[in-house]
Amino acid sequence: MKDFIAGLPKCELHLHIEGTLEPELKFDLARRNGIALPYTSVEEMRAAYSFDDLPSFLTVYYEGMQVLRTEPDFYDLAMAYLRKAAEQNVRYAEIFFDPQAHTSRGVPFDVVIRGLRRALIDADRQLGVRAQLIMCFLRDFQAEYAMATLLESLPYKEWIVGIGLDSDEKGNPPAKFAAVYERARQEGYLLTMHCDVDQDNSIEHIRQAIEEIGVDRIDHGVNILEDQRLVDLVLARGIGLTCCPISNGYVTDSMKAEGIRKLMELGVRVTVNSDDPAYFNGYVGENLVALQEELQLTREELARLERNAFEITWLPRHLKDAYLAEVDAYLA
Ligand code: ADE
Ligand code: ZN
Tens of pLDDT along 176-234? 999 999 999 999 999 999 999 999 999 999 999 999 999 999 999 999 999 999 999 99
Q: Which of 58, 137, 250 to mutate to test the pocket of ligand 1 (most atoms within 8 A of CB)?
A: 58
Percent of the chain with pLDDT over 90: 98
**Quick one: which atom of ligand 1 is closest to the CA of 18?**
2
d(CA 38, CA 34): 13
Q: What is the DSSP letter of 275?
A: B
pLDDT digits (tens, 9 = 90+) for 113-172: 999 999 999 999 999 999 999 999 999 999 999 999 999 999 999 999 999 999 999 999
Q: pTM of the predicted model, to two decimals? A: 0.98
* Chain mean pLDDT for the chain: 98
What is the layout of strands, in order, in the sheet containing 160-166?
10-16, 90-97, 130-138, 160-166, 190-191
Nearest CA to ligand 1 atom 9: 167
CA neighbor of 26 nearest in space, from 15, 14, 39: 39
SS3 12: strand
* Confidence tier at 272 by pLDDT (50, 70, 90): very high
The predicted model gives 15-19 an average pLDDT of 99
- Which ligand is closest in space to the CA of residue 165? 1
The least confident of 38-42, 124-128, 243-247, 298-302 is 38-42
The predicted model gives 321-332 an average pLDDT of 98
Looking at the domain 2-331, which fold is it? Answer: TIM Barrel (3.20.20)
Helix (H) or strand (E) holding 113: helix 109-127
Q: What pLDDT, on the 0 to 100 scale, is given for residue 50?
A: 87
**Residue 253 scores a pLDDT above 90:** yes
The predicted model gives 282-296 an average pLDDT of 98
Q: Are the CB atoms for 26 and 37 separated by under 8 Å?
A: yes
Helix (H) or strand (E) holding 228: helix 228-237
pLDDT digits (tens, 9 = 90+) for 25-71: 999 999 999 999 999 999 999 999 988 899 999 999 999 999 999 99
Binding-site residues, ligand 1, Cβ < 6 A = 16, 19, 54, 61, 166-167, 194, 196, 247, 275-276
Percent of the chain with pLDDT over 70: 100
- Which ligand is closest in space to the CA of residue 64? 1
d(CA 303, CA 319): 17
Q: Which of 134, 169, 196 to mutate to test the pocket of ligand 1 (most atoms within 8 A of CB)?
A: 196
> Where along the chain do its domains lie?
2-331
CA 151, chain centre distance (Å): 22
Q: Are the CB atoms for 281 and 246 separated by under 8 Å?
A: yes
Q: Which of 51, 194, 195 to mutate to test the pocket of ligand 1 (most atoms within 8 A of CB)?
A: 194
Alpha carbons within 13 A on the beta-carbon side of 315: 23
Nearest CA to ligand 1 atom 8: 167
CB atoms within 10 A of CB 41: 10
Angle among Cα 194, 204, 198 to the nearest 5 degrees reads 55
The DSSP-derived string for 300-323 is HHHHHHHHHHHHHSSS-HHHHHHH
SS3 107: coil
